[in-house]
Structures are given as C-alpha cells and as structure tokens.
Amino acid sequence: MLLEIQLAKNKRTEFPLDLMSILLFVMLGVFIFMMFRRNKKTQQQQAELQSKFAPGVDVMTSFGLFGRIVSIDEAENKVTLELSPGNLATVHRQAVTKIVEPAAVPVPEAESPAVPDDASSLTVQDSGSTAVPAETPDETLKRLNDEGKKDI
C-alpha cells in the first residue's frame, strides 16, 4: 500500500510534455501564424489591385488575356474587357490579376557617348596600311564555297 501511494505521487509530479512535444507545438503555432499572415497580405494586395480598376485601364487576366477595361459590374462582379477593337470579353472580376503598366521610354542622357551604327569609326586607320577592298555578295559566296572544297 505504501508503495502504491509513492508511485501515485511520482506520476502526479511528472510533466507529461517533453521538450520535443513543446517544440512541435511551437512550430505548429509559427506555421499557422505565417499562413494567416500570408493570406492577409494576399487579400490586401488583391483589394489594392481591385481599387485601381476603372474603365480605360490595361489589364491582364489570370489566363493570359490582355485587354482594356470597358465597364465594371459591381453587383455581379463582372468586368468587360476590350481585347481588340470590336472584340469584347466578359470575365469575373477576380480573374483580372494584373494591371499592365505602359512600357517606359528610356530618356537619352546627354553625357552618354553616341554609339555609331557600324564599327567603322571604332577602328584606327593607319596612314600606311593597305585597305582590303570590300567583297560583293557574289564574291563572298564564291570564296566560301571554295573554302569548303578545301576540306575534301
């Protein structure tokens, strides 16, 4: 009887969770926290994107169609896109996933050196060098065909 009382006291004082169990619950909590945080960020980005929707904005759908918004039906969550002049498509509002920004035209800098159209101005010409006359296309073709026959 005394032995049973002693064993009962020992069982009550033992902590049922070891270090690995605690670590498992902490990792699970971190995972759930990160999952909710990611969903919240995605929802914020989607809300920000949909707030920019207006007729005349160029957009891309989730399935790769590019078009310009013609009208938005808030009640039914539909967007009418003009894919090309005269071609309209009606898609769900959430299918529009990206606003297409117009390509920025690079502004030429005044300090950058001008690049020639050909490499002729990049070569240094010596006064005593012999210049090789330019070949015509027929001469080039004949020369290349003759060079190919040398391998045989």
Q: Are 58 and 21 in contact (CB under 8 A)?
A: no
Q: Are 27 and 61 in contact (CB under 8 A)?
A: no
pLDDT, one tens digit per residue, over 29-49 is 999 999 999 999 988 888 888
> Above 80 in pLDDT, residue 118?
no
pLDDT, one tens digit per residue, over 3-18 is 666 666 655 555 667 8
Torsion of CA 93, 82, 102, 97, to 10 degrees: 20
Q: Are 55 and 72 in contact (CB under 8 A)?
A: yes
Neighbouring CB atoms inside 10 A of 83's CB total 13
Lowest-pLDDT range of 50-54, 89-93, 110-114: 110-114
> Above 90 in pLDDT, residue 89?
yes
Q: Are 49 and 67 in contact (CB under 8 A)?
A: no
Q: What are the φ and ψ backbone dihedral angles of 61, each rounded to 5 degrees?
A: -90, 170
